[in-house]
């Protein structure tokens, strides 16, 4: 950990006077980590999850290695169109996770606030904005984002477009679920295809897009099978792998690498031993940097995370033969779009599928969508027989830690599950 802290400190120090050098150091450090992932992986993880670590690091490195072939995107942007246009997803939330994992986020958060960004804005967005403002993050080919679930998107991506002076495309997703709204979003996605053609000069091959959507559907079906198979298996995990699945099943969905991961994961789960310990389903993002959460749930037989809401935000019931409508349907019928009850009901269903004993609802600082639904979620999950802990914190910013309280509350919750009781 000391090596990582030193690395992050140098990235921060150089980001002011020598941003290109900071960018080069970031790329070098991440390439070194990727080499380690490939040749000296964490043997405590399933083989499939070791492979997943390389898939994700490859995705984070590509914007640093080839920024002119990358597009900044929000986490729930359907990226099959970008993949067909030859663009790598340059994802705000994912990139900020890696900056935080490199212990480099503090200076970027401060830079964003110094530039007038509110302290209450999501720390994932502030970290990315601060790093971009300091010149550490390279200029992309374009920006594509959606208003889906997160109001921070409306500020962040417009500001990034002004910083980089690149074309920007916004996808408006209505909150109501209806076929009219699917058609409305599908029309925008057709316009996005034209936008990407203008940016890249690469015309869309609709048959290739259909094939990619077929792969997306197969991948989500396989991942759902993985979660169901997991219900009676013990699968050791850290705190980042569940978040990786949240990214791969969104920004990397449709790629061959992600379908290969789902195939490998299903084989590993079927070969795993019987379930043991308490099984936690996690709602929203995970504070992977937290020692308190790591101590309670990382590679523990006594308790482990068996699923994360962000990895399953829609059903694989779309028709890939109509690719624009399929992507639009995923957005309109996204489990975080619309009323809080839709999200809660989806969470209950997913938690039951993977055999969870209890649920953690993580109130990430700055996420009004999650904070505002917490008490209703607690009531509904517990009525469904699933004890729920509301845990306050921040997924990206260590200064909002509260580690002592986190440790105490998680320990008490796990003890309560062991006694078969209900939380107070």
8 Å CB contact between 286 and 245: no
Tell whether 424 is covered by a domain: no
The CA distance from 284 to 210, in Å, is: 30
pLDDT at 419: 66
8 Å CB contact between 72 and 90: yes
Tell whether 22 is covered by a domain: yes
> What is the per-residue pLDDT across 236-265, written as a single tens digit (0 to 9) for each?
999 999 999 889 999 999 999 999 999 999
Domain that includes residue 256, residue range:
2-419
Classify each residue of 9-30 as buried b or exposed e, where b means 16 or more C-beta atoms within 10 Å of its C-beta. eebbebbeeebeebbebbbebb
DSSP three-state, residue 391: strand
pLDDT at 371: 81
User: Which strands make up the sheet holding 358-364, listed edge to edge?
Assistant: 303-308, 278-283, 358-364, 388-393
Tell whether 67 is covered by a domain: yes
> What is the per-residue pLDDT across 28-71, written as a single tens digit (0 to 9) for each?
999 999 999 999 999 999 999 999 999 999 999 999 999 999 99
How would you class 313 by CB atoms within 10 Å of its CB: exposed for 0-12, middle for 13-18, buried for 19 or more? buried
The CA distance from 60 to 140, in Å, is: 13
The CA distance from 394 to 248, in Å, is: 22
Reported confidence tier of residue 421, pLDDT bands at 50, 70, 90: very low
Tell whether 111 is covered by a domain: yes
| 261 Cβ contact list (under 8 Å, min separation 6) | 48, 51, 52, 55, 248
Assess whether pLDDT exceeds 70 at residue 422: no
Reported confidence tier of residue 423, pLDDT bands at 50, 70, 90: very low
Tell whether 400 is covered by a domain: yes
- Rounded to a whole number of angstroms, the CA Rg of the chain reads 20
> What is the per-residue pLDDT across 330-370, written as a single tens digit (0 to 9) for each?
999 999 999 999 999 999 999 999 999 999 999 998 887 78
Least confident of 216-225, 271-280, 411-420: 411-420
How many Å from the N-terminal Cα to the C-terminal Cα in the chain? 36
Tell whether 170 is covered by a domain: yes
Q: Which residue has the tokens 């990727």?
A: 34
Tell whether 134 is covered by a domain: yes
pLDDT at 138: 97
> What is the per-residue pLDDT across 111-148, written as a single tens digit (0 to 9) for each?
999 999 988 899 999 999 999 999 999 999 999 999 99
8 Å CB contact between 216 and 372: no
Closest CA to 350 of 306, 301, 319, 385: 306
Assess whether pLDDT exceeds 60 at residue 17: yes
DSSP three-state, residue 321: coil
Tell whether 396 is covered by a domain: yes
> What is the per-residue pLDDT across 153-202, written as a single tens digit (0 to 9) for each?
889 999 999 999 999 999 999 999 999 999 999 999 999 999 999 999 99
pLDDT at 282: 97
Closest CA to 22 of 104, 93, 124: 104
Residue 252 structure tokens = 């990397």
DSSP three-state, residue 330: helix
8 Å CB contact between 54 and 130: no
pLDDT at 370: 85
Assess whether pLDDT exceeds 80 at residue 80: yes
pLDDT at 173: 97
Element of type H or E holding 211:
helix 206-229
Closest CA to 237 of 56, 40, 44: 44
The total of structural domains in the chain comes to: 1
> For a pLDDT cut of 90, what percent of the chain falls above it?
91
């Amino acid at each position: 950990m000391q090596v990582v802290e030193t690395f992050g400190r140098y990235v921060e120090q150089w980001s002011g006077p020598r941003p290109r050098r900071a960018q080069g150091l970031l790329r070098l450090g991440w390439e070194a980590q990727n080499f380690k992932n490939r040749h000296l992986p964490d043997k405590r993880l399933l083989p499939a999850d070791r492979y997943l670590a390389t898939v994700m690091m490859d995705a984070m490195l590509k914007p640093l290695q080839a920024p002119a072939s990358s597009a900044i995107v929000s986490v729930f942007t359907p990226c099959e169109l970008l993949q067909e246009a030859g663009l790598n997803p340059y994802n705000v939330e994912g990139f900020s996770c890696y900056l935080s994992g490199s212990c480099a986020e503090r200076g970027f958060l401060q830079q964003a606030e110094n530039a007038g960004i509110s302290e209450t804005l999501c720390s994932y967005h502030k970290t990315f904005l601060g790093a971009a403002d300091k010149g550490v993050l390279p200029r992309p080919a374009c920006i594509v984002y959606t208003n889906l679930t997160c109001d921070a998107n409306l500020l962040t991506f417009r500001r990034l477009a002004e910083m980089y002076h690149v074309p920007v495309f916004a996808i408006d997703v209505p909150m109501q679920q209806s076929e009219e709204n699917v058609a409305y979003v599908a029309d925008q996605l057709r316009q996005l295809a034209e936008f990407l053609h203008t940016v890249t000069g690469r015309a869309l091959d609709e048959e290739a897009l259909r094939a990619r959507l077929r792969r997306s559907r197969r991948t989500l079906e396989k991942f759902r099978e993985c979660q169901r198979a997991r219900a009676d298996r013990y699968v050791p995990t850290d705190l980042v792998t569940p978040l990786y699945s949240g990214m791969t099943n969104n920004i990397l969905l449709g790629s061959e690498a992600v379908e290969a991961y789902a195939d490998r994961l299903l084989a590993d789960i079927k070969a795993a031993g019987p379930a043991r310990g308490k099984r936690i389903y996690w709602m929203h993002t995970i504070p992977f940097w937290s020692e308190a959460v790591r101590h309670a749930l990382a590679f523990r037989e006594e308790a482990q995370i068996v699923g994360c809401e962000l990895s399953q935000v829609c059903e694989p019931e779309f028709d890939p033969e109509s690719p624009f409508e399929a992507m639009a349907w995923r957005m309109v019928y996204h489990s975080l779009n619309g009323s809080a009850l839709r999200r809660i009901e989806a969470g209950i269903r997913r938690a039951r599928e993977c055999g969870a004993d209890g649920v953690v609802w993580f109130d990430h600082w700055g996420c009004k969508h999650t904070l505002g639904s917490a008490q209703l979620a607690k009531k509904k999950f517990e009525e469904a027989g699933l004890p729920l802990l509301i845990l306050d914190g921040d997924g990206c910013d260590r200064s909002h830690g509260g580690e002592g309280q986190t440790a105490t509350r998680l320990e008490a919750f796990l003890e309560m599950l062991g006694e078969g009781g209900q939380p107070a």
